[in-house]
Amino acid sequence: MKKESNLIINNPKKLEGSINIPGDKSITHRAIMLGGLSDGTINITNSLLSEDCMRTLIAFRELGVDIQINGEKIVIVGKGIQGLTQPKSQIDAGNSGTMARLLSGILSTQSFDSTISGDESLVTRPMKRIIEPLESFGALIKSNYGKLPMSFEPPTSMKPIVYHSKIPSAQVKSSLILAALNIKGESIISEDIITRDHTERLLSYLEYPFVNDKGVITLQGYKNLVAKDIEIPSDISSAAFFIVAALIKEGSDITLNNIGVNPLRTGIIDVLLEMGGNIKLVNCRTVCNEPVADIRVKHSKLNPVNISGKIISRLIDELPILFIACATCNGLSLIEDVGELRYKESDRIEAMEHGLRELGINIVSTENSLSITGGEFIGGIIDSYGDHRIVMSFLIAGLVSLKPITVLNTSNIDTSFPGFADILIDQKIDLYSI
């Protein structure tokens, strides 16, 4: 389906059969970056060629890396950890916070000047969380009051990184790891709550020597990344929309193929199982150091849930669609420790609160929590706030709405899930552009 600004979902039907989900966004970003820093040629298959990931690909071309796209395969001729060259212009991260923060770690150690910026949404998002630790180890960074654009000057000296992060953010951790690759000496990076470890798994797969002792990462800079082909698993964050869709839509029975089930990303499955969801992982295997499985989901009566604490970092991207699931339950759900949602592509607490109220759901928020009393969706017009996950969450809500749901400003779906609308259409669900 071509890009459209507004979409309306109506006359929903059950979901059935086998569904293929695009490659994992987080891993694709990292595979392109580490591929560019490797020594040799890497073929990346099942990559996600979304707008966000294309920004990373274009950035590495601007940094002197030869990258070709052949269908859904990306071919990268790596330049080595110290082989990048000065870009001719400012690097544009678009809407991608992952790209901006991870690439900042790489740019902070280079022997050339560079600048990175983004779109009107990204330039409002906080970057101090990476600026401050990088500066404390010698990086020379100028920013717009802790936000993009950020400019990097060649550091006069950088000492090894020794940093303990109190923010549960894989982006902060990965930014520091990527910086440490180009810093002489031993760096040690740790965190209060262990976050997704795709960077570490890829480093290990590409044979970069380091030690990971219960989340304490110790590595020496100036080692080599061995060029090896990478197969990207399909994205559990994208699969989550269809997992919830099948659970809430009566009669549904689907299988999602080749989904990455990294235990630091499967919080959404754990919570939905706790709510009574009929979800089974089958054909479990390991692909390029990442656990992968097919996921079978059947319609289920879901119960309210209370969650907080460490589980939140394991489902932070899936919370909007989890809120939709909670809104279909009979009873009160309480989700706490989710203040980080206010600093995503939109303020996702505010966006979901406004949208669910429009659909007739009783919802109360604080700075750091949401309580949702389940009920029936009455239909309505939803402002997506330009956020791809808000769009997709409310389109899924349309599967069980009494009246049609119209979602405004939907073209941003391509940020993470090109083909989302096409899957709905393939499932014989009526989806119209207006």
Give the active site residues: 317
Distance CA 262, CA 25 (A): 14
Contact yes or no for 76/44 (Cβ under 8 A): yes
Structure tokens at 290: 């990442």
Q: Distance between terminal CA atoms of the chain?
A: 13
Q: Nearest CA to 29 among 126, 225, 171?
A: 171
- For tokens 């950890």, the residue is 81
Strands (E), 308-367: 332-336, 362-365
* Long-range pairs for 351-356: beta carbons < 8 A, 24 or more residues apart: 351/320, 351/383, 351/384, 351/385, 351/387, 351/390, 352/320, 352/323, 352/390, 352/393, 354/383, 355/382, 355/383, 355/390, 355/393, 355/394, 356/323, 356/327
Distance CA 247, CA 276 (A): 9
Q: Nearest CA to 9 among 412, 392, 289?
A: 392
Q: Nearest CA to 221 among 270, 259, 184?
A: 184
Contact yes or no for 283/311 (Cβ under 8 A): no
Distance CA 343, CA 350 (A): 11
Distance CA 60, CA 37 (A): 10
Q: What is the DSSP string of 176-221?
A: HHHHHTTSSSEEEEEESS----HHHHHHHHTT--EEEETTEEEEES
Residue 112, strand partner residues: none
Q: Nearest CA to 169 among 135, 132, 123, 129?
A: 129
Tell me whether residue 168 is exposed, middle or buried, using C-beta atoms within 10 angstroms of its C-beta: 0 to 12, 13 to 18, 19 or more.
Answer: buried
Helix (H) or strand (E) holding 73: strand 73-77
Contact yes or no for 160/137 (Cβ under 8 A): yes
